[in-house]
């Protein structure tokens, strides 16, 4: 049970750093899994190390190096091994000698931008993000999207190989690309949330909120990130009140006693933080926004009696489609900009995007995401997730 917690808390962090070190998602995933398995065996016996993340990363890294040594076939990886051997010979039996103070860079942000790269198919982005950052198993993801596990496994493998072969960079995009790329990331997170929320899959909604939390931790100044997290929390707060006798209960008819106060206050806090964020941005909490809708109802009092006749409709709809609307991008008109013309965050901020009408339940819109592609050179040094 404690290891469950350890896995949930540390999987993404450990995997991201390993990909940064090893430069290969598949290898890093295998090694991370091995490290967690070793931890499952040892920690109950020897106690949890003081620096569990460092321990897991170091253990996984050494496993990976072992693995590479066994697989001398690929010249590229053998080259890596030559370096790796020095690492290992210096840190003999690193499992025991991982320094308590050793910290590794947190590269979850690099990882999420890699997984949500527009060069990958949308379904692949969603699946890969759930796998790498959400820690869901292939079977769980397959179940969520109603496809056979084998199909999902192939989809994931294909995505990993494309990242490696086409060398999709393992990096946070430079500033001039960030708005578009961030929109693509948020679309994936919101798609996951919608799939969980609209389709009644609590675990996916929770995974999306976790991703949102991780993003808001990593990019605390991005208004769009805070707004998305607020949106998800405010929607999720009404989860228990939303369905009664397998029927969807609309907002006005919901039993407010079932709303989650803590999530509501967190969502409101986030949305006010977002309004205070230094960079003015057009996303997405413009009236009518979920915050306004929700908070107005909240301030109106939980005991407010419904004045409208009861309306409800079947809660369960087919969730065999890829998923309902990821609004961040579907609401964003494809911008006709040229990277060669100078444009800055100011032009982004002033570009107009229609405000999403979020009083609509997120699951009810059906537009699919359309992403703008990568359009510019990257002046910053970037690392590849491929060998």
Partner 1 sequence: LVEDFFGRSCPSEPALFVRYSILYRSVSGEIMQYALLAYGSQRTQAGPVEPAIASVLARPSVTAWARLHGEGSATSVRNGDGRMLLTDGPFIETKEFLAGIFVVEADNLDAALAIAQDLQDTRTSGAIEVRPIAEASFRGA
Contact status: 27 vs partner 1 (CB under 8 A)? no
Contact status: 117 vs partner 1 (CB under 8 A)? yes
Segment interacting with partner 1 (CB under 8 A) among 102-110, 227-235, 243-251, 342-350: 102-110
CB 33 within 8 A of CB 10: no
Contact status: 59 vs partner 1 (CB under 8 A)? no
Minimum CB distance to partner 1 smaller for 103 or for 321: 103
Minimum CB distance to partner 1 smaller for 17 or for 295: 17
Smallest separation (angstroms) from partner 1 to the CB of 65? 10
Residue 271, CB half-sphere, CA atoms under 13 Å: how many?
A: 23
Contact status: 20 vs partner 1 (CB under 8 A)? yes
Burial class (CB in 10 A: 0-12, 13-18, 19+), 129: buried
Enumerate the H helices of 71-144 as residue ranges.
75-90, 94-97, 108-115, 122-132, 138-144
**Euclidean distance between CA atoms 128 and 54, whole angstroms:** 24
Residues 330-349 touching partner 1, rule: CB under 8 A, are 338-340
Minimum CB distance to partner 1 smaller for 158 or for 311: 158
Q: Which of 324, 314, 315 is nearest to 363 (CA)?
A: 324
- Residue 101 burial (CB count, 10 A): 8
Classify each residue of 146-185 as buried b or exposed e, where b means 16 or more C-beta atoms within 10 Å of its C-beta: ebeeeebbebbeebbebbbeeebbbbbbeebbbbbbbbbb
Give the one residue of 2, 96, 119, 146 binding partner 1; rule: CB under 8 A. Answer: 119
Which residues, other chains included, contact 168 with Cβ-Cβ below 8 Å and sequence gap of 6+? 114, 117, 119, 120, 162, 384, 385, 386
**Euclidean distance between CA atoms 335 and 351, whole angstroms:** 9
Give the one residue of 49, 134, 169, 324 binding partner 1; rule: CB under 8 A. Answer: 169
Contact status: 308 vs partner 1 (CB under 8 A)? no
Contact status: 377 vs partner 1 (CB under 8 A)? yes
Give the one residue of 37, 74, 166, 316 binding partner 1; rule: CB under 8 A. Answer: 166
Contact status: 374 vs partner 1 (CB under 8 A)? yes
Residues 179-198 touching partner 1, rule: CB under 8 A, are none
Give the one residue of 90, 278, 307, 342 binding partner 1; rule: CB under 8 A. Answer: 90
At 243 the three-state DSSP class reads: strand
Minimum CB distance to partner 1 smaller for 72 or for 338: 338
Minimum CB distance to partner 1 smaller for 233 or for 374: 374
Minimum CB distance to partner 1 smaller for 20 or for 196: 20
- Alpha-carbon distances of 251 from 6, 209, 248, 335, 359, rounded to whole Å: 37, 21, 9, 34, 9
Binding footprint of partner 1 on the chain (CB under 8 A): 20-23, 79-80, 83-84, 86-87, 90, 99, 101-105, 117, 119, 165-169, 173, 177, 338-340, 373-378, 381-384, 387
């Amino acid at each position: 049970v404690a290891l469950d917690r350890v896995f949930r808390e540390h999987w993404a962090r450990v995997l991201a750093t390993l990909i940064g070190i090893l430069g290969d998602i598949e290898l890093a995933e295998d090694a991370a899994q091995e490290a967690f398995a070793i931890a499952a065996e040892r920690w109950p016996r020897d106690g949890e190390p003081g620096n569990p993340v460092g321990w897991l990363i170091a253990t996984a890294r050494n496993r990976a190096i072992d693995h590479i040594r066994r697989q001398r076939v690929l010249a590229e990886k053998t080259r890596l091994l030559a370096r790796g051997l020095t690492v290992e010979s210096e840190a003999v039996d690193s499992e025991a000698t991982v320094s308590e103070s050793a910290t590794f860079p947190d590269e979850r942000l690099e990882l999420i931008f890699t997984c949500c790269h527009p060069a990958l198919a949308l379904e692949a982005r969603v699946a890969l993000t759930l796998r790498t950052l959400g820690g869901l198993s292939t079977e769980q993801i397959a179940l969520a999207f109603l496809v056979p596990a084998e199909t999902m496994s192939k989809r994931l493998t294909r995505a990993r190989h494309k990242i490696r072969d086409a060398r999709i960079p393992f990096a946070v995009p430079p500033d001039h690309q960030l708005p578009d790329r961030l929109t693509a990331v948020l679309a994936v997170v919101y798609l996951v949330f919608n799939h969980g929320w609209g389709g009644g899959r609590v675990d996916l909604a929770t995974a999306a909120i976790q991703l949102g939390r991780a993003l808001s931790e990593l990019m605390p100044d991005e208004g769009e990130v805070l707004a998305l997290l607020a949106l998800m929390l405010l929607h999720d707060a009404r989860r228990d009140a939303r369905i009664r006798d397998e029927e969807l209960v609309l907002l006005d008819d919901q039993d407010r006693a079932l709303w989650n106060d803590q999530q509501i206050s967190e969502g409101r806090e986030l949305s006010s933080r977002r309004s205070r964020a230094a960079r003015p941005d057009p996303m997405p909490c413009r009236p009518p926004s979920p915050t306004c809708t929700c908070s107005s109802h909240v301030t109106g009092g939980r005991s407010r009696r419904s004045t409208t006749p009861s309306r409800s409709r079947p809660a369960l709809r087919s969730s065999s489609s890829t998923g309902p609307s990821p609004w961040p991008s579907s609401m964003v008109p494809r911008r006709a900009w040229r990277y060669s013309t100078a444009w800055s965050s100011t032009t982004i901020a002033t570009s107009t995007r229609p405000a999403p009408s979020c009083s609509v339940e997120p699951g009810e819109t059906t537009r699919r995401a359309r992403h703008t592609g990568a359009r510019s050179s990257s002046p910053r040094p970037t690392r590849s997730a491929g060998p």
